[in-house]
Amino acid sequence: MDVVVGAGIIGLSIAWRLAREGRPVTVVDPAPASGASHAAAGMLAPVSEVTYTEEPLLRLGLASLSRWPAFAAELAADAALPPHDPASTPSPLPSGATGAGDGGEATSGAGTTGGIDSAGGFFGGGISAAARAGLDLRADGMLDVAFGADDLAALGELAAFMEKLGLPVERLTGRECRRLEPMLAPSVRGGLLAATDAWVDPRRVTTALLAALERRGVPLVPARVSELLRDGDRVTGVRLAPPASPGEIPAERVVLAAGSWSGELANVPVRPVKGQIMRLRSAQPLLGRCVRGLVHGTPVYLVPRGDGELVVGGTQEELGFDTRVTAGGLYELLRDARELVPGVTELEVADVVAGLRPGTPDNLPIIGPSGTPGLTLATGHFRGGVLLTPVTAAIVQGEDADLATLCSPARFRDIS
């Protein structure tokens, strides 16, 4: 049997994919879906998030993005999410978005499930009605905007870099930005549209994963793993912290997907990077797509949900396991969000939370057999856990050998 340690979006997805294959699996987590997955905004934005030196992460992100529609459709079916709201049609794909980078990612898995629409872009296959309605999966793109001349110049540099990589981005004037998003501040000078980027509601995804696991009869043990059981150089199971009973679960394989806490259980170079994020609520969505911007050099993003929620994120702080929400953190989020979209000040504050992103030295996740028999790693997803969920599950299942090499634990010394 496999034991998956950690019931965040990564651990739950791995368990779900294993269960679909008919493998016996158990998930252990004292508080399922309450960590980074609960805080995350859910941007599936490998194109607009690309930065210098991070081309490998871009490759991984594009591959995972292309897997999202099928992943979501299968999840929606497995969790029996209703394809309600028949009026809501799948999002139209932007014209000309034909996956110029990486020679056009394979639209893997598209068409394996019913209800999938026409193909195109990285986000091959379109979005099933159930995935859109149930998971709020949308592929309407990311608009990156700039205000002052400095931020506009920085965006221009970024655009040149993206174009060099063959990514499908479109430079827009301030007027064009505001035609797309009328709530943007009048001072917007210009922008960059990554039409193939997408987003999803991670809270709905973890809820659906929990439902799918329950329907498949996968046990979820609500306990904290205090240590990995080891026999010589092998990992043979997990020990649970009291008062859990029984106190141990033996396993042929332990999959460590404990996010920032992975470093507490095994020797892996993962550190917590705190992010504060807030959720605002309005009756009508303020935005039609994700908007992010540099405000005097500080990045901020706004992610609209179908139900009127608007997610504003996120700070980046190296404070260990601290998850306090601070005055300064919220102030900076609101200050910058208001510069982008002045109307946010009218919205209700629905939720403020701090999560811990599991960071690694090179910002790439650590996925695959650890080198210690019996221990597989699926951790260190940093800012991209939601985006990288489908490709992570695939790599753990032995698919995508090329990408697996990129994420291999073997690139670090002394992992055990």
Partner 1 sequence: MDDLIIAGEKFSSRLIMGTGGAPSLEVLDAALAASGTELTTVAMRRLDPGARGSVLDVLRERGIRVLPNTAGCFTAGDAVLTARLAREALGTDWVKLEVIADERTLLPDPIETFDAAERLVADGFVVLPYIGDDPALARRLEQAGCAAVMPLGSPIGSGLGIRNPHSIELIVEAAGVPVILDAGIGTASDAALAMELGCDAVLLATAVTRAQRPDLMATAMKGAVLAGRQAWQAGRIPRRRYAEASSPLTP
- Footprint of partner 1 on this chain (CB under 8 A)? 51-54, 161, 263, 269-272, 296-297, 315, 317-322, 359-363
Nearer to partner 1, 331 or 349 (CB): 331
Surface-to-core class of residue 376, CB atoms within 10 Å of its CB (0-12 exposed, 13-18 middle, 19+ buried)? buried
Kindly tell me which of 366 and 396 has the beta carbon lying closer to partner 1: 366
- C-beta closer to partner 1: residue 61 or 269: 269
Please compute, for residue 206, the number of CA atoms within 13 A of its CA located in the half-sphere on the CB side. Answer: 22
Find out whether 134 and 78 touch, Cβ atoms under 8 Å: no
Residue 317 CB, shortest distance to partner 1, in Å, is 4
State how far the Cα of 4 lies from the Cα of 26, in Å rounded to an integer: 6
Q: Smallest gap, in angstroms, from Cβ of residue 295 to partner 1?
A: 10
Q: Which is nearer to partner 1, 260 or 370 (CB)?
A: 260
Neighbours of 11 (CB within 10 A): 30
CA–CA gap between residue 277 and residue 326 (Å, rounded): 11
Vertex 112: Cα angle to 106 and 117 (nearest 5): 75
How far apart, in whole angstroms, are the C-alpha atoms of residue 159 and residue 61?
A: 18
3-state secondary structure of 394: helix
Closest to partner 1 by CB, 119 vs 334, is 334
Rounded to 5°, angle at Cα 200 from 117 and 21: 70
Minimum CB distance to partner 1, residue 297 (Å): 7
Lookup result for tokens 């793109």: 141
Q: Measured from the CB of residue 320, what is the shortest distance to partner 1 in angstroms? A: 4
d(CA 98, CA 121) in angstroms, rounded, equals 4
Q: How many CA atoms lie within 13 A of 191 on its CB side?
A: 28
Q: How far is the CB of 51 from partner 1 (least distance, A)?
A: 5
| Residue 150 Cβ vs partner 1, minimum distance, rounded to whole Å | 8
- Cβ–Cβ < 8 Å for 96, 167: no
Minimum distance, C-beta of residue 289 to partner 1, in the bound complex (Å): 25
Closest to partner 1 by CB, 248 or 332: 332
**C-beta of 90 vs 263, nearer to partner 1:** 263
CA dist., res. 28 & res. 251, Å (int): 12
Nearer CB in complex with partner 1: 124/259: 259
Residue pair 33/210 in contact (Cβ under 8 Å)? The answer is yes
Nearer to partner 1, 214 or 264 (CB): 264
DSSP 148: S
The per-residue DSSP string of 121-186 comes to: SSSTT---HHHHHHH--B---EEEEE-SHHHHHHHHHHHHHHHHTT--EEEEEHHHHHHH-TTS-T
